[in-house]
Amino acid sequence: MVKSTSIAQEITNTIQKTIGVESAVLHEPEFSGNEWKYLKECLDSGFVSSVGKFVDRFEKELSDYTGSKYAVAVVNGTSALHIALKLVGVEAGDEVILPSLSFVATANAITYAGGIPHFADSESKHLGLDPFALRDYLKTASEIKNGKCINKFSGNVIRAIVPMHTFGHPVMLDELISVAHDYRLSLVEDSAESLGSLYSGKHTGTFGAMGILSFNGNKTITTGGGGAILTQDENFAKLAKHLTTTAKIPHRYEYVHDQIGYNYRMPNLNAALGCAQLEQLPNFLESKRILFEKYKSNFQKLKGIQIVSEPERCKSNYWLQTILIDKEVEHMRDEILNVTNDNGVMTRPCWRLLHTLAPFLKSPKMDLPIATSLEARLINIPSSPKLIGSEI
């Protein structure tokens, strides 16, 4: 039997060989375009907060890039999801289906809207919600009454479903849209990680009633902190803009607010950074794809390890490169994490399953065998586009 330290060292060596350096962080931003120029323009103009030309420009360019009719820039992806859930009608006591294999922000946003996270299983190729397991579950756990999906056990309305595109790999959207339709669920895409990812040639975040993006410092492009709401619905877009600007009725000097709003506006400084980053996005995506191909070639030589690749019908942005260790060696995961990090190669496990976290222990859930297996076997490895350097 091969010792865990041997496998861990082989993985470390493979990563170092692929990236051409001995140490690397998981994902870091790259500022090699007009970032300084646009930020200086903000400073020179004095428009550094929520008013300024770069906010409008960033929203327009996001809309053009993703194919969404409307984009509303906000302070982060969590606030974007919060507002999107409110707009599709999530109310206090409503349940919202989401994968247990997700970042905690997905569940947090549901609770901000007054909802109750209802955890569902994932499938192994897309790493996202399993539409077939979910349909089977809803057949027995829910019923349609007066046009609403009702949880038979809690009596609560199941209002929406939030698929999350894990590490940038699109979920099985056609099948999930079918489930949402049959069970009267609004579909809101958590596309925080998937800017640049396509499903059947269409950008993620544009399939449901609404979608959201994140531009945190570790994302494919960054605005420092920031997010966006995507929608094809003009009324949703107008209301999203209104609610995220404290629900203030436009007036040149009066302060009148017609409902509870939120100070979720993206500052002009952040939007300026985003505009510069968007200009470089095609190169970032190409670098990430080249990095994936190099990892794929080198990891093929290791037994018990596979690199996660884009599923059928999908074009992934490869936000985070990910390896999946075989079940026979999953007990070696922590050893792999320790050895790689001790050697300067930053690796991370995937998130703790959300239903196991203290705030969500009493939340409803289906059986989660695949998510449980994936949690034990997924490891993220260095993924920055700058690791490719001048190869493109």
pLDDT confidence of residue 4: 55
Q: Is the pTM of the predicted complex or chain greater than 0.85?
A: yes
DSSP three-state, residue 134:
helix
pLDDT confidence of residue 392: 41
pLDDT confidence of residue 52: 86
pLDDT confidence of residue 51: 82
pLDDT confidence of residue 1: 31
List of residues 6+ apart from 123 with CB closer than 8 A: 129, 130, 132, 133, 172, 370
Distance CA 379, CA 15 (A): 12
Q: How many CB atoms lie within 10 A of CB 392?
A: 12
Distance CA 69, CA 63 (A): 6
In this prediction, the residues of the chain whose per-residue pLDDT falls under 70 are 1-5, 389-392
Task: List the structure tokens of 64.
Answer: 């053009």
Distance CA 64, CA 71 (A): 9
pLDDT confidence of residue 2: 39
- Domain 35-277, CATH number (from 3.60.20.10, 3.40.640.10, 3.40.50.300, 3.40.50.1820): 3.40.640.10
CATH of domain 4-31+280-391: 3.90.1150.10
HSE (side-chain half, CA atoms, 13 Å) at 319: 24
Asked if residue 301 lies in contact with residue 13, where contact means CB atoms within 8 angstroms, the answer is no
The 3-state DSSP composition of the chain as helix, strand, coil percent (nearest 5) reads 40, 20, 40
DSSP three-state, residue 190:
strand
In order of 10, 66, 81, 110, 364, the CA distances from 212 in angstroms are: 38, 11, 6, 13, 24
Nearest of 201, 216, 159, 195 to residue 313 by alpha carbon: 201
Distance CA 66, CA 285 (A): 14
pLDDT digits (tens, 9 = 90+) for 76-98: 999 999 999 999 999 999 999 99
Please report, for the chain, the start and end positions of each structural domain, with discontinuous segments joined by +: 4-31+280-391, 35-277
Nearest of 137, 139, 142, 146 to residue 155 by alpha carbon: 142
